[in-house]
Structure 1
Amino acid sequence: MQIKGLHHVSALTAKAAANYRFYTEVLGLRLIKKTVNQDDVTMYHLFYGDEIGNPGTELTFFEMPMAGQTREGVNSISATSLRVPNDKALDYWLQRFDEYDVNHGNITERAGRLTLAFTDFENQRLILVSDENNTGVAGGKPWDRSPVPAEYGIVGLGPVQLTVEDASLTAGVLTDLLGFRLKGSFPAFVAGQPDVLVFESGEGGSGSEVHVEERSDLPIERPGRGSVHHVAFRVDNEEELRQWVERVRQSQFSNSGFVDRHYFRSLYFREPNGILFELATDGPGFGTDESFEFLGESLALPPFLEDRRASIEAHLKPLDTVIR
């Protein structure tokens, strides 16, 4: 049993159409699945990733039109990183962000890598991270129809940042339950706060890292549009996931048990600071109900929702995602 790295990050948006435009036209990701939240079929669930949505490249969004603005704070997934091929790519993205009027910071170093922080139109907190000297978990392959040149394109998820009240509680779950390793630390960006802890799993590298930031100067985050709902970690297959279900149960964490999401199998639980973790299998993948050529162009529903298609579509605002 080994966590292979990051699987996906799921966040909240209030505007699916604007979200689709930003993540495909500005960031150059591919929409690999347009479906619904299986726990609330009145909302879209959009999956973005590399050319085929490989595990570790997926950034997903639930649409909640009435979501309020996020009030940032602790006990949250406070930043999501996206990997780019090298340092030169960050210079390209600086120019692109200026061209598209994207709010961004300067190129700075985090955990030994150059990074570029930015936000989307709903203040979703994002960080581009260079793979210049990265080793470990491999990235994906940008879609060849992306508006961003492949040599600069996003190749997957990088380190996920957790901001918590008590880092020792989250660290204990990462290492003692999930088998992450403490790799090191780097200085906090806020004076007077502890160093940020860096954990890695599996083959290591930025595609497996979790950065844990302890803050004593913030309230508890109130999530809304622009916040992250959960982070998912990769497990190899269904057999191994069922072993994780038993391990988490024995650790006495309240959890979802085994969940079939059709495109992968999952387990959900909250760590002691209240952040929602998911363990998700690498397969079956997103080609189970669509050809890879047309991923994301139609509303895809898992078999157990297909008989409700007419009702589901009637409650969704049309979202044109056909590539022309």
Structure 2
Amino acid sequence: MSIATSGLHHVTAIAGDPQRNADFYLRTLGLRLVKTTVNFDDPGTYHLYYGDESGKPGSLLTFFPWKDAPSGRHGTGQATTTSFSVPEGSIGWWQRHLAEQGVETSRVHSRDGEEALTFRDPDGLALSLVAHPQGDPRAPWEGGTVPAEHGVRGLHSVTLSVDHEDATAEMFRGLGLEFAAQEQNRLRFTAGDGGPGAFVDVLVTPDAPRGLVAAGAVHHVAWRAPDEATQAAWREELVGDGVNVTSILDRQYFRSLYFREPGGTLLEIATDEPGFTADEPLLELGRALKLPPWLEPKREDIDRMLPKLDLPAENNPEVLG
């Protein structure tokens, strides 16, 4: 394939109670809620986007929170760990901070020169904080509850669990990712120039159960395309390779297409444009419920169905001013 991604765009997961979800990602992890909208296919449900100050591609973890959603099961055919990048030397601070918040963590462990700390969110989603030895030049969200010197820089990587690696590895190579390393049953691939935000690990676990996507599990993993023209060309190549690909869908803040890699994980290609300031100013991101034009006539009904969210004032800097 002649078109290659530069890295991760976002990861989308399923959550339970939306307020509990917002409290954890805003107050405990110190991310910014950059968009409060709805699941376009189920507008009675929020779609919450967390990231850096402006929600740049590669910083985003998003959720569909269903309050009564059953618990998912981690296993093959899905992304089983989502990792964030933090500064080198910050892992100890995070270990203490999470303990103070009542979050149980693993011991700090090292792999390929990176220090990592693993834990779970309130719904059981597997998360990791990783400090890359060469650092991460991306800026953190400085207005949140976590000091900027320790703040999350964006996504670091995702880990996909599969029964067998051959077909998955072949598709990743076709998407422009390069094989970088292998440690026992874990294979690492890199996109673009590599580094945090451009890694995907493939964990081969043939004896693991099949995963179930529900609360506490990843729904899909999105890769970056710079613009709609590149995305359209990419779709043509995938279709030509016999991949079952959706049409290009308007997600208001980017355009999307979806397909599954051979191991079963749902993948997305999402455009970098137009971004989250398409319908509200940077300083006001996430404060108000935003709907796409085709759902605006139903705003009153949608607003009635959605529970109210209590957001920290730090999410909107001018509120504090």
TM-score of Structure 1 vs Structure 2, range by shorter chain: over 0.9
Which runs of 5 or more residues in structure 2 are unaligned? 314-318
CA contact (8 A) 1:298 1:322 kept: no
CA contact (8 A) 1:33 1:300 kept: yes
Q: 2:177 aligns with which of 177, 180, 190?
A: 180
CA contact (8 A) 2:141 2:152 kept: no
CA separation in 2, counterparts of 1:313 and 1:169?
44
CA contact (8 A) 2:17 2:68 kept: no
| Larger CA deviation: 4-13 vs 301-310 | 301-310
Matched, 1:248 2:231: no
CA contact (8 A) 2:113 2:133 kept: no
CA separation in 1, counterparts of 2:169 and 2:308?
43
What is the match of residue 106 of structure 1? 107
Distance 1:125 1:139, change over 3 A: farther
Distance 1:72 1:322, change over 3 A: closer
CA separation in 1, counterparts of 2:60 and 2:7?
12
Q: How does 1:213-232 map to 2 (within 5 A)?
A: 213-232=203-222
TM-superposed deviation, 1:112: 2.7
Q: 2:40 corresponds to which letter in structure 1?
A: Q
Relative to the length of structure 1, the TM-score reads: 0.93
CA separation in 1, counterparts of 2:102 and 2:137?
27
What is the match of residue 280 of structure 2? 290
TM-superposed deviation, 1:321: 2.9
What is the match of residue 53 of structure 1? 55
What is the match of residue 164 of structure 1? 162
Relative to the length of structure 2, the TM-score reads: 0.94
Q: How does 1:239-278 map to 2 (within 5 A)?
A: 239-278=229-268
CA contact (8 A) 2:13 2:63 kept: yes
CA contact (8 A) 1:50 1:140 kept: no
Structure 2 SS opposite 1:169 = helix
Which runs of 5 or more residues in structure 1 are unaligned? 188-194
Q: 2:269 corresponds to which letter in structure 1?
A: L
Matched, 1:305 2:295: yes
TM-superposed deviation, 1:2: 2.1
CA contact (8 A) 1:298 1:321 kept: no
CA contact (8 A) 2:34 2:51 kept: yes
Give the CA RMSD over aligned residues.
Answer: 1.3
CA separation in 2, counterparts of 1:278 and 1:265?
10
CA contact (8 A) 2:49 2:60 kept: yes
Deviation digits for residues 254-301 of structure 1 (CA, Å, limit 9, x no counterpart): 121211111001110011121100001111000011111111011011
CA separation in 1, counterparts of 2:218 and 2:240?
28
CA contact (8 A) 2:14 2:65 kept: yes
Task: Report % sequence identity.
Answer: 40
Equivalent pairs counted in the alignment come to 312
Give runs of ≥4 in structure 1 deviating > 4 Å: none
CA separation in 1, counterparts of 2:41 and 2:113?
39
CA contact (8 A) 1:165 1:216 kept: yes
Distance 1:139 1:279, change over 3 A: farther
Deviation digits for residues 95-142 of structure 1 (CA, Å, limit 9, x no counterpart): 0011011021011112331111111111110010103324xxx65322
CA separation in 1, counterparts of 2:176 and 2:63?
28
Q: 2:223 corresponds to which letter in structure 1?
A: F
Structure 2 SS opposite 1:283 = coil
CA contact (8 A) 1:297 1:322 kept: no
CA contact (8 A) 2:77 2:161 kept: yes
